[in-house]
Amino acid sequence: MKKVIYGLMGFALILTSCETMEKRDEGGSVLTVDQVKITVIQPTAGSNTIIFHNETVGAIIYYDWGTGTLTSRDEYDTIYIPFASTPTLKYTAFCGGGTVTGSTTFTIAANDDAYFDTDPAWKGLTGGGAGQTWVFALDIPGGVIAGNGPEDCQAPAWWTINVSSPPDWLAIYDEVTLNLNGAANFTYKAKDGSIKTGFFKVIDPAVFGGVSYSGIQTLNGVTFPWPNPSDGKYHITKLTTDLLSLHEYKQYNIAMYKRKGYVYP
């Protein structure tokens, strides 16, 4: 039986479509390193699809390529990673008498554009993938940079925050950068120059009045300057090359961002 795993964060974050198996054979001797035979196969050089071929008789193999993992008794297992990268595959062979570990690397030549074209948030937030930095739209006409309003609004409609008198807790000079270089990377840079790094992923869209709005989730404890929900979930009501209207996921709080360097006409 072949198991297929679909990668969202390259080798950093993986969504699995299989179940981990915990059964272990009893008895037997400890394998030597030379007896553990794991081959990495790619249908074409640099392919985003990777096949693990286990030629180790009588062993359960635990694969680890970052935080994406799979425990398997199968001869062949398949993963899919949409990011150009050079992951290191670590593996452990469980046998009746103990364990043996090893590792190997493989190369993914390019991002899978077809995968990232499935939702505009992937490329829209990342400047096509290479990277884009978002900052508060401090020169927005009218001066309103945050607040709240209906879940599908593109700008605050009820309570508002004006750039001329922002509250002390609003970090208006902090910025975030997103890219698809080896993973879906999310970097937060504060006004004092300190940096936090994490990842993001596209989640189910938020639907209001029959219209779908891209949903994203930031991971590893990083968020946008505001809103900053504890689960890192957002939906997007406006996304252009230069402008971003970002809501707390299926909620009312919204902030107005722009591409760093963009100046309103």
Q: Please, where are the H alpha helices in the chain?
A: 113-116, 120-124
Same domain for 100 and 146:
no
Name which of 97-111, 158-172, 175-189 the model is least confident about. 97-111
Rg (CA), the chain: 23
- Structural domain boundaries enclosing 42: 4-110
Is position 264 within any domain?
no
Question: Is residue 144 in some structural domain?
Answer: yes
Whether 127 and 81 share a structural domain: no
Looking at every residue in the chain, the average pLDDT score rounds to 87
Q: What is the DSSP letter of 9?
A: E
Count: domains in the chain: 2
Q: Is residue 86 part of a domain?
A: yes
CATH number for 95: 2.60.40.10
Mean pLDDT is lowest, of 50-64, 110-124, 173-187, for: 50-64
CA angle (154 as vertex; 240, 186 as ends), nearest 5: 55
Domain boundary pick from 68, 88, 110: 110
The highest-confidence range among 8-17, 61-70, 224-233, by mean pLDDT, is 224-233
103 shares its domain with 122: no
Q: pTM above the 0.85 mark?
A: no
- From residue 84, alpha-carbon distances to 52, 122, 146 in Å are 18, 15, 36
Which pLDDT score is estimated for 58? 77
Cα angle 48, 77, 129 (rounded to 5 degrees) comes to 20
pLDDT of residue 99: 81
Q: What mean pLDDT do residues 228-248 have?
A: 98
For residue 265, being part of any structural domain is answered with no
Share of the chain above pLDDT 90, in %: 66
In this structure, are 241 and 163 located in the same domain? yes
Q: Which residues sit opposite 212 in a β-bridge?
A: 207
Let me know whether 26 and 143 are in one domain.
Answer: no
- 227 and 104, same domain (yes or no): no
